[in-house]
Every structure is written in structure tokens, then in C-alpha cells.
Amino acid sequence: MPGAGTDHTKEWSPFDGPIVVLVEPQLGENIGTAARAMANFGLTRLRLVRPRDAWPNVHARRAASGADAVLESATLYDNLPAALADCSFVLATTARAHDQAKPVIGPAEAAREMAPRLAAGETVAVVFGRERWGLMNDEIGLADCIVTFPVNPAFASLNLAQAVLIVAYEWFKAAGGGLPFGMPARSPPAGKEQLFAFFATLERELERVEFFRPPEKRDTMTINLRNIFTRMAPTQQDIQTLHGVITAIAEGRKGPARGGVLDGREAGMLRELLAEHGGGRVPGERGPVRGLSRLLRRNPTDAERALWEALTKDRRFAGCGFKRAVPIGPHIVDIVSFPLRAVIDLVPATESPEAAEARAGKRAWLKTRDYRVCEVKASEVEADAVAALERIAREFGIGKTA
């Protein structure tokens, strides 16, 4: 199964890389993970000298994690000289000093040695030894250079695939391979006019909450704030987002069941006041009704918040299209589903005669237009919102199976 970042529609590699030679590998899993490391950096040519286990090897395929092309093209050899017969430049990797008069280089320098030779069409091979004891002296003797890694001398042993990965990585960089992607530039830098407008909004809202104290430090604080955002080098989208954040905080818009500038008690008082005055209706005007619905939606009572949270978490109500504080004609209802033509009407614990009369008028108006109205007492919701929701579901027939 392809791993994260694997895309088989893209070109394998624009570079011709070195041959990887594994001498007497003992485990199929190590061959597979070495093939995976090769594929990471576009290497395709794998040669195996007397692998201990049978070949092809199912364990190698599993460990390769999708690098099947490398394994399928791998070739077998009876001995190392045969595997290197067509090569013009050979590097042998080892963690031990073999006391041979050969250049000893690190992986980065090895990559620099290989890159121009490969570009010129030479056949270059990198030889890796056995998992347990690496390469023998006579095998090192076949190489032009020795490659060793800058590791902790007290624990220098690398896993076979790790060694292949390091060499392949350094070669890929030296050959011109770069990062596969960078940060997308999706929005141009913000202009000064946009920045100044944002600063004006930010400072106005901070002034409203008396942020600039003491007054004599206002100028210094303003400059510091502006410098914070200027140093960010924001994009146009950044400033639009920040502008929206400031506006949302200032206006109390925190979603349909949260926030607002009024607490639960104050929200209840607002609804009582509106109910006593006919719901704030103005004959022939829809605008004020819609403005009030937005105000009520941002400032729910405790009962509204509890019922709405329970409703949105109940899967039975998913897809029913329930909304909060929505105008229907001249009235604003607490919760409504237009697809079901169902209204949930929350009744406060105490209600003036005028408010009760306005509620009765709203209920009658809705029923004449084929809306089903379920009245729920606020005290019932505050005591057990889930139980109140159960009654609503039964009354509207929600969650029944045919």
C-alpha cells in the first residue's frame, strides 16, 4: 500500500543514479527496506550477491512498502567481482578501518564524486556489506574509495537500509534534487491602505474597552501594536481574517449556541421586553424582524443554549434542518425546521399577560399556516435537556422507523 506522499503519476527521477550492491544480505526485510530507501531518492538499480534467503522474497516485498519496481528489476550474482564487472567507479561502505591505502570519504563527498561521473555516463556502484559483519578485506579491495559515516564511534553500526538511505539522500541532493514543494503564495502582500484600515478598526475596538491605559502611554502602545503586525509581513488574506476576528469579538458572534454580549438572564429579559411589545414587529417591515433575529441568535438564554446543544448532538435530528431564532413572516420563533414545518417554542418560567397574549397570537398564526408547534417550558429544559428533547422527538415523530 503506498505511503503518505507517494504519487505514482509523477516521474520517478530525472537523474541516473548509482547501482546499489548488497553483499549476502541476510534478511528479506532488510532488502525490502533498502529498496524503499532507494525509491525515496530515485534509485532503481539493485544488485544482490548471494542473498541468504530465497529470491524473490515475500518479506522483502512487504517491507518495501510499494517500492516493487526496485525489487522486480533486481539482479542476482554469485560473487561481488561479477556484480561489479561493468562498473568504472566503485565505492565500498564500512564502519571499520581496513588499513587499506584508499581515500576515505563521507557520504556527502561520495555524492560529489559520483554526480559528475554519472552525468558523464559512467557506471558507478556503491557496495554495502552484510548486516552482521559488513564487507571483508578482499571485497573492500575491489573498491576505488571507502565511504564511512560520521557517527558515534562507540556505536557505529547502522541498519542496512539506514546506510543505503544516507548515501542515496546525499547523492540526490548533489545531483540537483530539491524539496518537492514549498509554501504556497496564495495571497499577495497586504497594501498599506488595507493595513491602515485594520489598525483603525483594532484601535477603535481597543479604545471601547479602555485598553489604552494610562492615557499618556496611548501613542507608544499604538506604535508597538502596529509594529507587531507590520513585522508579520501579512498577506491580504491575513488582514481580512484578522479584521473578521476583531469584528466577531467586538460584536459577540461566537456561533449559534454560544456567545453574545448578554448573559442568560439578560437575554431572557430582552425576550420578555420584545414579547410585551409584539415581538418588536413593525407593520409591513421585514428588516427589523431580521435584525432582531440576529440579535437573539447571538444572545441565547440558558434554556435555549442547553436545548440547542442537546439537539445538535442528537443524530436523530441531523438533516432535519432545524435553525435558531429565525423569522417566519412577522414573527421570530425560537427553533424551527422548515422541511418539517415544525416549531419549538420555549416558554419562560414567568411571563407577563402581554407576553402570554403575544405568544398565543404567534402560535395561532403558525398553526393556520400548517406549522406544528411544540411548547417546551424553560424549566423543563434546564432540569433535563435530553428528556425535553425526547418529548420533542416523539411529538414531531423524529427518529421513528417505518
214 preceded by cis ω (within 30°)? yes
Q: Which of 251, 285, 320 is where one domain is finished?
A: 251
Pairing of strands 145-147, 331-337: unpaired
List residues bridging with 3 in a β-sheet: none
User: Is 258 within a domain?
Assistant: no
- pLDDT at residue 249 in the model: 81
Domain region containing 384: 264-396
User: Is 389 within a domain?
Assistant: yes
Instruction: Mark whether 32 and 165 lie in a shared domain.
Output: yes
- At 308-326, the pLDDT tens digits run 989 988 888 888 889 988 8
Rounded distance between C-alpha atoms, residue 119 and residue 123, angstroms: 10
DSSP state of 124: E
Residue 146 has pLDDT above 90, yes or no: yes
Q: Identify the H or E element spanning 360.
A: helix 353-368
* CA dihedral sign, ordered 176, 181, 186, 188: negative
User: Is 2 within a domain?
Assistant: no
Instruction: Mark whether 155 and 33 lie in a shared domain.
Output: yes
Instruction: Mark whether 210 and 341 lie in a shared domain.
Output: no
pLDDT band at 287, cuts 50/70/90?
A: very low
Q: Which of 251, 273, 294 is where one domain is finished?
A: 251
- Residue 257 in contact with residue 324, Cβ under 8 Å? yes
Instruction: Mark whether 356 and 227 lie in a shared domain.
Output: no
Pairing of strands 75-77, 46-49: parallel
pLDDT band at 257, cuts 50/70/90?
A: very low
Rounded distance between C-alpha atoms, residue 207 and residue 218, angstroms: 10
What lies within 8 Å, CB to CB, of 241 at 6+ separation is none
Q: Which of 251, 275, 299 is where one domain is finished?
A: 251
- Residue 301 in contact with residue 346, Cβ under 8 Å? yes
User: Is 39 within a domain?
Assistant: yes
Full DSSP string of 226-282 = HHHHHHT--BHHHHHHHHHHHHHHHHTB--TTSB-SS-HHHHHHHHHHHHHTGGG--
* Overall domain count for the chain: 3
| Lowest mean pLDDT, pick from 111-115, 265-269, 336-340, 363-367 | 265-269
- At 326-384, the pLDDT tens digits run 888 888 888 999 999 999 999 888 878 888 888 888 899 999 999 999 999 989 988 99
Rounded distance between C-alpha atoms, residue 252 and residue 299, angstroms: 9
CA-based R_g, the chain, Å: 37
334: its cell numbers: 425560537
- At 54-87, the pLDDT tens digits run 898 999 999 998 899 999 999 999 999 999 999 9
User: Is 271 within a domain?
Assistant: yes
User: Is 184 within a domain?
Assistant: no
Instruction: Mark whether 204 and 285 lie in a shared domain.
Output: no
Q: Give the 3-state DSSP-derived string for 154-202, with helices as H, strands as E and coil as C.
A: CCCCCCHHHHHHHHHHHHHHHCCCCCCCCCCCCCCECCHHHHHHHHHHH
DSSP state of 348: P
Residue type, 170: E
